[in-house]
Amino acid sequence: MDVDVVVIGAGPAGENAAGRAVRGGLTAAVVEEHLAGGECSYYACIPSKALLRPMELRAEVSRVPGLSAGPIDVEKVLARRDEAISGLDDSGQAEWVGKLPAALLRGRGRLTGPREVEVRAADGTVTRLRARHAVVLATGSVPIVPEIPGLAGARPWFSRDATTVKEVPRRLAVLGGGVVACEMAQALHALGAEETTLLVRGGLLGKMEPFAGESVAASMRESGIDVRTGAAVARVERAAADGPVTVHLGDGSVLEADELLVATGRRAAVRDLGLESAGLSADGPVEVDDSMRVPGTDWLYAVGDVNGRNLLTHMGKYQARVCGDVIAARAAGRPDDGPSLRDGADGRGAPQVVFTDPQVAAVGLTAEQARGKGLDVRVVDYDLGAVSGAYLLGDGYTGRARAVVDEAHKVLVGVTFAGPAVAELLHAATIAVTAEVPLDTLWHAVPAFPTVSEVWLRLLEEYGL
């Protein structure tokens, strides 16, 4: 079968790359071995946020005198999660791909040579595709399994097991201190994992401003989660198939749990993808230039988690828009270097919300990263709880905001908020950082009273405006 563009992987990045290429006048085929919609729709963003919402709302309600939240009905929460992931049925997404229109081929895709992809279906049938213009790799990522003696044989949980949980374990151990570990430890603790223990090598949310992880750790401890920083796991065992898992820690202590969730990062999904046939190393991530093309080729592109830039759905979709548009422009012989045809966002530090209690919302560089880049940095902090809008959200609202200012240009290069309901503050920060809005101009963007957004005014006043 000949087609203009072949996309391997129908996750959010792959679907959008195909969509933009078709919008640009090309034909496309999308190859998917599991579910159209990818990790995000069925096992990651959507189910995790559905599981976190009751915890968030309960915390909100508990801060407002005169209101009380009853106990969480776990069965109903799990049922809503199942509805949110369409019961792992991808017919809706498959229909969406069909309507682009693009062909959806079920099976495992593999590069076999320049512009050539082989698709092996579950029944062994092989289809060969030839791309006239481009092949886009959008295969996502898979969990990293740390080399800990006994771990593989102890049937550990990975993120999919946690997000599609049917029966919440009473005793849960979580290895890792990143986003998955923090979100799922809090969600499952709220849903019945009474004894939840977080085993963290360093601090929590280590890629963000230190106060973000510190405030999440404090909130977790207050809710009864046992947060152990500086913890090392020496060995793991599960003696009986239906028995508990035993975690032997580096300090000689032992922890017993019903399940052990391993959340120690993800790596590009490139196993058996045929990268060697394109002259590339078989290991990921698949590095790309800012048009999302693999250097040294004029036909191979990679978007989303597989290129390792920022493992976030919205960034994968952004890269996919760039990629699909660039492929269409190049195929038509149009200029391919317009401003929307290059990835200008990933390198700045992607916007991200961690849906913990408190939430963490950040964009751009941390103060340390900015200094590391040699910038003349000034850090401005403000107590979010001192903003009227935050006070009105509930008693005992605590939070913190940080702006990282590039003093040479008087613009923001990074902003971080940690506090309840800060997610929606993030896009204003993203605009300020991306558009490099001068602080003197930002001063005239007046936040409405009484909203939490007034923190923008306070940060600028604190800076000296």
Ligand X SMILES: Cc1cc2nc3c(=O)[nH]c(=O)nc-3n(C[C@H](O)[C@H](O)[C@H](O)COP(=O)(O)OP(=O)(O)OC[C@H]3O[C@@H](n4cnc5c(N)ncnc54)[C@H](O)[C@@H]3O)c2cc1C
Ligand Y SMILES: NC(=O)c1ccc[n+]([C@@H]2O[C@H](COP(=O)([O-])OP(=O)(O)OC[C@H]3O[C@@H](n4cnc5c(N)ncnc54)[C@H](O)[C@@H]3O)[C@@H](O)[C@H]2O)c1
Residues within the interface to ligand Y (CB under 6 A): 146, 175-181, 183, 201-202, 206, 263-266, 311-312, 352-355
Residues in CB range of 46: below 8 A, 6 or more apart: 40, 84, 85
Q: Is 328 helix (H, G, I), strand (E, B) or coil?
A: helix
Binding to ligand X by residue 304, rule CB under 6 A?
Answer: yes
Binding to ligand X by residue 380, rule CB under 6 A?
Answer: no
Report the residue number, 186 or 313, with the smaller CB distance to ligand X.
313
Binding to ligand X by residue 314, rule CB under 6 A?
Answer: yes
308 touches which of ligand X, ligand Y, none (CB within 5 to 8 A by kind)? none
Q: Is 417 helix (H, G, I), strand (E, B) or coil?
A: strand
Compute the least distance from the CB of residue 312 to ligand X, in Å.
4
Task: Extract the tokens encoding 348.
Answer: 């700045």
9 touches which of ligand Y, ligand X, none (CB within 5 to 8 A by kind)? ligand X
| Closest to 392 in 3D by CA, of 425, 420, 432, 426 | 420
Beta strands in 293-358 (DSSP E): 300-302, 352-354
130 touches which of ligand Y, ligand X, none (CB within 5 to 8 A by kind)? none
User: Which one among 6, 22, 28, 40 touches ligand X, defined by CB under 6 A?
Assistant: 40
Enumerate residues 47-66 that contact ligand X by CB under 6 A. 48-49
Report the residue number, 425 or 439, with the smaller CB distance to ligand X.
425
Residues in CB range of 282: below 8 A, 6 or more apart: 270, 275, 276
Instruction: Count CB atoms within 10 A of the CB of residue 85.
Output: 20
Residue reference for tokens 């990045």: 13
CB of 409 within 8 A of CB of 426?
no
Q: Which stretch binds ligand X (CB under 6 A): 305-313, 331-339, 436-444, 453-461?
A: 305-313
| Closest to 365 in 3D by CA, of 212, 209, 155 | 209
Q: Which stretch binds ligand X (CB under 6 A): 169-177, 222-230, 308-316, 404-412?
A: 308-316
| Closest to 355 in 3D by CA, of 61, 55, 74, 62 | 55
Is the omega angle on the peptide bond into residue 358 within 30 degrees of 0, that is, cis?
yes
Compute the least distance from the CB of residue 203 to ligand Y, in Å.
8
Binding mask 126-165 for ligand X (x = CB under 6 A): ------------xxxx-----------------x---x--
Compute the least distance from the CB of residue 337 to ligand X, in Å.
25
Enumerate residues 182-241 that contact ligand X by CB under 6 A. none
Compute the least distance from the CB of residue 104 to ligand X, in Å.
11
177 touches which of ligand X, ligand Y, none (CB within 5 to 8 A by kind)? ligand Y
Compute the least distance from the CB of residue 276 to ligand Y, in Å.
26
User: Which one among 180, 247, 345, 413 touches ligand X, defined by CB under 6 A?
Assistant: 180
Task: Extract the tokens encoding 417.
Answer: 């908020």
Report the residue number, 175 or 275, with the smaller CB distance to ligand Y.
175
Interior/surface letters 15-51, b for 16+ CB within 10 angstroms, e for the rest: bbbbbbbbebebbbbbbbbbbbbbbbbbbbbbbbbbb
Compute the least distance from the CB of residue 4 to ligand Y, in Å.
32
Report the residue number, 217 or 311, with the smaller CB distance to ligand X.
311
- CA distances 451 to 218, 380, 391, 401, 454, Å, are 25, 20, 10, 14, 6
Report the residue number, 101 or 202, with the smaller CB distance to ligand Y.
202
User: Which one among 27, 313, 416, 430 touches ligand X, defined by CB under 6 A?
Assistant: 313
Q: What are phi and psi of 56, to 5 degrees?
A: -65, -45
H or E segment to which residue 78 belongs: helix 74-84
138 touches which of ligand X, ligand Y, none (CB within 5 to 8 A by kind)? ligand X
Is the omega angle on the peptide bond into residue 450 within 30 degrees of 0, that is, cis?
yes
Please give the residue ranges that form the binding site for ligand X (CB under 6 A).
8-14, 31-35, 38-40, 44-45, 48-49, 108-109, 138-141, 159, 163, 180, 269, 273, 304-305, 311-314, 316
